[in-house]
Every structure is written in structure tokens, then in C-alpha cells.
Amino acid sequence: MRTLILFLLRFKTLFLFLGLELISFWLIVNNNQFQRNHFLSSSNVVVGSVYNLSDKIYKYFTLASVNASLAKENESLNTELVQLREQLAFYRQDASYTGRRYHSVQNNYSFVTAKVIHFSAGNQKNYFTINKGENDDVRVGMGVVNEKGVVGIVNSTSSHFASVVPIVNASSWTSATIKGKTHLGQLSWKGKDFRYATLQEVPLYIPVALGDSVVTSGYSSTFPEGFMVGKVISFSERNDNFYDIRVELAVDFDKLSYVDVIRCQYADERSALEKRKGRSDD
């Protein structure tokens, strides 16, 4: 306390001068309109600058929390964007829903839509992986199609994924027929080009023309009858009274994205019956 008193006594003249200056300044501002307006204008500038500086300082120290909030919001927006893209892609590829629904109602089929997440291409044993598996009731032997036509057959499954052998696999064959005809043929892929396959075992007495549609026969529960396979682009006669028919495939395997796995309600029952019939014929 004694130090404070000594300090005030030492600088009493300065403090008196500053006090008188403040009083004078106050009297001038209060009694003169021009000085008062000028003071208020200047003070607003100073106060505004102080507020702006304090706001910047506050924002700087809260930047970490703001960034965290923005990151969380960005994550949420990205998730929503992915979901919307998935829905949009689904609706785009689902243009043939009416036709598929007709098949499902008529033949007790249903469909599981899946996304192709890996395609092993460029060799004779092509296959691809989809993001649906046993938990989605996808089973080995089920047919796979998309909005264009026949894609392949499921050959192995796990809980959440399935591997599909496409019709562009050298070991794959599919029962097919010329649309409007009753005789069955076998569709196989000879390799090299994903755009074409060969339909065989069609006898010469069956009339074939360029542009004829090749469709699934419905001979098994794998594919419903009438699903598009491709169209005839050329054919030749063999010496054994059968055709070699070159088919341009409906599905563009270079752009394969979404597919539908076909579930037949009575597939197991039909398979069991056919096996019993086969044993009884032995």
C-alpha cells in the first residue's frame, strides 16, 4: 500500500494533467455539435475495428471445433450422395421392371438387385463378384440378368457376396432358342470377344433369319422363358444338319454395373423331382 501511495505522489502532476485533459475533452464533445459527431464517428471506427479483431481471434481459437463440425457434415453429405447415386443407378437400370415383374408373377420368380464390385476379364475363365450373398437369399445356380438380358449364373456364395460365371465364360453354356420357335439350342462363348456367342444344336429344318431374337428357353428354373440373350447376325449350315449361329449378345459386359439375381420359388422342389425321376429311369 505504501508503494502505491508513493507511486501516486510521484506522478501526481501527470495524473492531474491527464484528468484535466479528459474533463476538457468531455466538455468540448458535449458542448459542440461538430466535435461530438466527429468523435462518435471516430469511436465507431475504433470500436468496429476492435470487434472485428476480437471476432477473428475468437474464430481462430474455435477453428478446430468448426473444422470437426464441417468434417462431420461433409461425411454425412458424402454418405447421402452415395445413397442417392445408388438409387439413381438402380432406377436407371430398372427401366425393364415391368417386364421382369410379368415374369415373376407368371412364373413365381423374384429378383435381388446387386452391384457388380469386381470383374475378372481378359481370359477364358471370366467371372465377376456381386455385393449380395446368402444373407440376401442368393444361392448357387441362380440366374443373373440385367435390364438388357441374360448375364450369367451364380456359382459360389458367402454371407454377403456371390461369384457369378457370365455367359462369356468358355465353360459356360445356356439353354436358348430362336424367339417364336420351340426347338432348344445351346449358347456358348468361344472366347476373345465379349460381344458375340454361338448358338448350336438348332436343326436345319428350323427357319432362321438375320435379326432373329435369341431368348432363354425356360427349360430349367435358372432363367424364365423369354429373357433376351441377343440377336442373330450370321449363320451357316454344318454337315451334320445343324446350324452354327453367331449371336450378338444383348448385354454389354464392358459396362456391367447392376444386375438382378433370379430367385425361383419352386426351384428346389423342381430340382428334387427331376433328380428322383432321373434315378427312377436308371
Q: What is the pLDDT of residue 191?
A: 82
Ordered DSSP codes for 102-134: HHHHHHTEEEEEEEEEEEE-SSSS-EEEES--G
Q: Are 129 and 229 in contact (CB under 8 A)?
A: no
| CA 142 distance to own-chain centroid | 22
> Does residue 111 belong to any structural domain of this protein?
yes
* Cβ partners under 8 Å of residue 274, min gap 6: none
In angstroms, the CA 148 to CA 222 distance is 17
Burial 130-141 (b: 16+ CB within 10 A, else e): bebbeebebeee
In angstroms, the CA 151 to CA 90 distance is 17
Residue 250 backbone dihedrals phi, psi, to 5 degrees:
-75, -35
Q: What is the pLDDT of residue 40?
A: 53
Is there a single domain that holds both residue 132 and residue 242? yes
Is there a single domain that holds both residue 123 and residue 262? yes
| CA 11 distance to own-chain centroid | 79
Question: What average pLDDT values come out for the chain (282 residues) when binned by 10 residues?
Answer: 70 73 68 57 54 63 65 64 62 54 58 89 86 93 91 95 95 91 90 91 93 89 86 92 94 89 74 62 53
Is there a single domain that holds both residue 245 and residue 167? yes
Is there a single domain that holds both residue 110 and residue 181? yes
> Does residue 253 belong to any structural domain of this protein?
yes
> Does residue 101 belong to any structural domain of this protein?
yes
In angstroms, the CA 186 to CA 177 distance is 8
Is there a single domain that holds both residue 233 and residue 121? yes
Is there a single domain that holds both residue 128 and residue 208? yes
Is there a single domain that holds both residue 41 and residue 130? no
**Among 45, 61, 77, where does a domain finish?**
61
In angstroms, the CA 47 to CA 41 distance is 10
Domain interval for residue 12:
2-61
Number of separate domains in the chain: 2
> Does residue 68 belong to any structural domain of this protein?
no
> Does residue 80 belong to any structural domain of this protein?
no
> Does residue 282 belong to any structural domain of this protein?
no
Query: How many of the other CB atoms lie within 10 Å of CB of 163?
Result: 18
Is there a single domain that holds both residue 118 and residue 195? yes
For position 223, which CATH number holds?
2.40.10.340
Is there a single domain that holds both residue 141 and residue 259? yes
Q: What is the pLDDT of residue 73?
A: 72
> Does residue 79 belong to any structural domain of this protein?
no
Q: What is the pLDDT of residue 109?
A: 74
Q: What is the pLDDT of residue 217?
A: 87
Residue 267 grid cell: 426351384
Q: What is the pLDDT of residue 151?
A: 96
Is there a single domain that holds both residue 112 and residue 168? yes
Is there a single domain that holds both residue 31 and residue 146? no
Q: Crossing angle of helices 2-10/12-31, nearest 10°? A: 60
Q: What is the pLDDT of residue 13?
A: 79
Is there a single domain that holds both residue 128 and residue 264? yes
> Does residue 67 belong to any structural domain of this protein?
no
Query: How many of the other CB atoms lie within 10 Å of CB of 208?
Result: 16
In angstroms, the CA 108 to CA 106 distance is 6
Ordered DSSP codes for 135-179: GGT--TT-EEE-SSSEEEEEEEE-SS-EEEEESSSTT-EEEEEET
